[in-house]
């Protein structure tokens, strides 16, 4: 726990689990603000030094990971963080909560993976090295442990997707640029 002086910008932290931006809660005192709740990642819900069962835990603690059988999909964010989706908290609910859309997140370099109506992967127009690494590990793990079958892959600029083994998905990914194109830099997508 810490604090900051009145007039200074509110401190944020980089999430130790997914690299997302974490924010804390602050309370005003005479000279500034003191922290009254742990930093919590806005992308994956991990907390820094939280109190669990009445004891302080040091370091980043991931949000409760849903049981494997309940997982219906994922977002892989542009920092390589993997956010699990379930029947109750799917992509639509995540977007509602965060004020985002799947299209907007794809344009930020996120990947959407769903296994609700078949195993499908939506690829963004560009992908960072950290996202590539996380995606490759995740797809290999799904292949080994899940029995979701062959994914239906859809690239951003295609109207229709196609079935592709995960290694073929990674071959397509390897040809994506590592940075956003003009439309991202112009601020068209947020």
Q: Closest distance between Zn ion and the C-beta of residue 168, in Å?
A: 29
Q: Closest distance between Zn ion and the C-beta of residue 16, in Å?
A: 8
Judged by the rule CB under 5 A, the positions of this chain that interact with Zn ion are: 15, 17-18, 20, 41, 43-44, 46
CB atoms within 10 A of CB 134: 21
CB closer to Zn ion out of 84 and 114: 84
- CA–CA distance, 61 with 16 (Å, rounded to integer): 9
Query: In the chain, count of helices (H) and strands (E)?
Result: 5, 14
CB closer to Zn ion out of 17 and 120: 17
Which residue, among 103, 65, 82, has the nearest Cα to 19 in the 3D structure? 82
Q: Closest distance between Zn ion and the C-beta of residue 82, in Å?
A: 10
CB closer to Zn ion out of 59 and 181: 59
- CA–CA distance, 10 with 149 (Å, rounded to integer): 46
Q: Closest distance between Zn ion and the C-beta of residue 77, in Å?
A: 8
CB closer to Zn ion out of 17 and 134: 17
Q: Where are the alpha helices (DSSP H) in 120-174?
A: 129-145, 166-174
Instruction: HSE, CB side, 13 Å, CA atoms: give it for residue 141.
Output: 10
Q: Closest distance between Zn ion and the C-beta of residue 43, in Å?
A: 5
Which residue, among 84, 53, 52, has the nearest Cα to 66 in the 3D structure? 84
CB closer to Zn ion out of 76 and 120: 76
């Amino acid at each position: 726990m810490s604090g900051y002086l009145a007039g200074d910008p509110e401190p944020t932290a980089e999430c130790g689990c997914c690299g997302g931006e974490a924010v804390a809660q602050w309370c005003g005192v005479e000279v500034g603000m003191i922290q009254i709740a742990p930093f919590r990642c806005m992308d994956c819900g991990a907390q820094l030094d939280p109190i669990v069962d009445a004891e302080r835990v040091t370091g980043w603690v991931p949000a409760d990971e849903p049981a494997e059988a309940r997982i219906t999909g994922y977002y892989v964010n542009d920092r390589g963080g993997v956010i699990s989706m379930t029947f109750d908290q799917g992509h639509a609910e995540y977007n509602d909560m965060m004020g985002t859309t799947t299209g907007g997140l794809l344009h930020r370099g996120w990947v959407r993976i769903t296994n609700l109506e078949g195993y499908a992967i939506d690829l963004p127009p560009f992908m960072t090295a950290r996202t590539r690494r996380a995606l490759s590990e995740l797809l290999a793990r799904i292949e080994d442990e899940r029995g979701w079958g062959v994914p239906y892959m859809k690239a951003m600029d295609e109207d229709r997707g196609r079935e592709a083994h995960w290694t073929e998905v990674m071959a397509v990914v390897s040809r994506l640029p590592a940075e956003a194109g003009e439309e991202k830099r112009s601020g068209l997508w947020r």
